[in-house]
Structure 1
Amino acid sequence: MAEESPLIGLPPIVGAQTRVLVLGSFPGVASLRASQYYGHPQNHFWKILAALWPAQALPSREDYAARCQWLLERGLGIWDVYAACEREGSLDSNICNARVNDFAALQKQLPRLAAIAHNGGESFRHAKAVRGSMALHDNDRIESLRLPSTSPANASWSFDKKLNAWRDALAPYGLV
């Protein structure tokens, strides 16, 4: 069996105004192909955000740069727990030999960061390590939130149930 090269994740989408950082585990096959976070058409991520902010129209999926700017203007950032891994398919359960992203370095770009919202269980499994890698003086003020995964693999949660959970989690940070 030939050795596979590790998959490399996407760069963070963050800005100085980011108050909540959404962390997935690692982009799925469709997202890596498109070089876009939450690129699978059945993923609820962008649909949930559009429902949370109905007064500001979500740019089309063809204009990813505008979508990213739209997200940043509302104080939300995106990244993943893993910088690289080996995996067949898109399921988190298939991830192996993963390398965690450098959250201490990222934190320096996020002076207003108040919470890390883990999009799903695999991401949340690393919540303590992610917070622990950040500067100790800021560690107490940064909340860790566990959100239901927006992945199509999370079919046990309806769209409305996911939407309500995301709304409840982001409201205390002034994002909805």
Structure 2
Amino acid sequence: MPDVIAHELDVLFVGINPGFASARAGHHFANPANGFWRLLHESGFTPRRFVPSEQRELLTLGIGITNVVSRVTAGVKDVTREDFAEGRLALAQKIAHWKPKSVVFVGVTAYRAFRGTRGPIACGEQAEGLGRARVFVLPNPSGRNAHYSYADMLELYRGVARALE
């Protein structure tokens, strides 16, 4: 899955890894059960609702997308420790090279995987940045995420969008 990335983006969204639907489509967050594109618009990150095939247009808004792990799997349970170790290094290199102003992890699991930590993580801005980039964590909008209602996710996404204005 190719990254949607450019130098000094305002925000780089980071997912865990591509699923089968995204791999088939060749676009990030392509599963129709995933609320990412709807949340992006309704929270104020984008002026309209984009569809996955328009992902490259996000660059004109200063928005990019990548993943911690590049390997396609059915779900995060199929991602190995080795995948996460390789992904942490690759993502750190991407962030150092492309220098986004902020990095938004789409899912607590994505952030934990990058940091290599366990334990509770609160959504919102994190105390530790990445270089000069501010770091945020948002809920994973996958249809499999039963921890947050859509309304709760929307409020958290709006909070980050406001913080980055």
* Same fold, TM-score > 0.5, yes or no: yes
d(CA) in 1 for partners of 2:32, 2:151 = 17
Name the amino acid aligned to 1:72: L
The 5 A counterparts of 1:14-163 are 14-53=5-44, 56-60=47-51, 64=53, 66-69=54-57, 71-84=58-71, 87=73, 89=74, 91-96=75-80, 97-98=82-83, 99-100=86-87, 102-107=90-95, 110-111=98-99, 113-128=100-115, 139-163=130-154
For residue 135 of structure 2, give the secondary structure of its aligned residue in structure 1: strand
For residue 84 of structure 1, give the secondary structure of its aligned residue in structure 2: coil
Cα 1:53–1:145 change in 2 (3 A) is: closer
For residue 146 of structure 2, give the secondary structure of its aligned residue in structure 1: coil
Name the amino acid aligned to 1:165: L
Cα 1:57–1:115 change in 2 (3 A) is: closer
d(CA) in 2 for partners of 1:144, 1:30 = 27
d(CA) in 1 for partners of 2:34, 2:164 = 24
Name the amino acid aligned to 2:30: G
Count of paired positions: 149
Please, which of 167, 171, 175 is the counterpart of residue 158 of structure 2?
Answer: 167
TM-score, normalised by the number of residues in structure 2:
0.76
* 1:150-171 alpha-carbon deviations (Å, 9 max, x no partner): 1111133111111110111232
CA RMSD of aligned residues (A): 2.5
d(CA) in 2 for partners of 1:57, 1:33 = 25
Q: Is the 8 A contact 2:18 2:70 kept in 1?
A: no
Q: Is the 8 A contact 1:23 1:80 kept in 2?
A: yes
Cα 1:58–1:109 change in 2 (3 A) is: farther
Q: Is the 8 A contact 1:26 1:80 kept in 2?
A: yes
The structure that is helix-richer by fraction is 2
Q: Is the 8 A contact 2:40 2:46 kept in 1?
A: no
TM-score, normalised by the number of residues in structure 1:
0.72
d(CA) in 1 for partners of 2:130, 2:33 = 35
The structure that is strand-richer by fraction is 1
d(CA) in 2 for partners of 1:120, 1:15 = 22
Long gaps (5+) in structure 2: 117-128
Larger Rg: 1
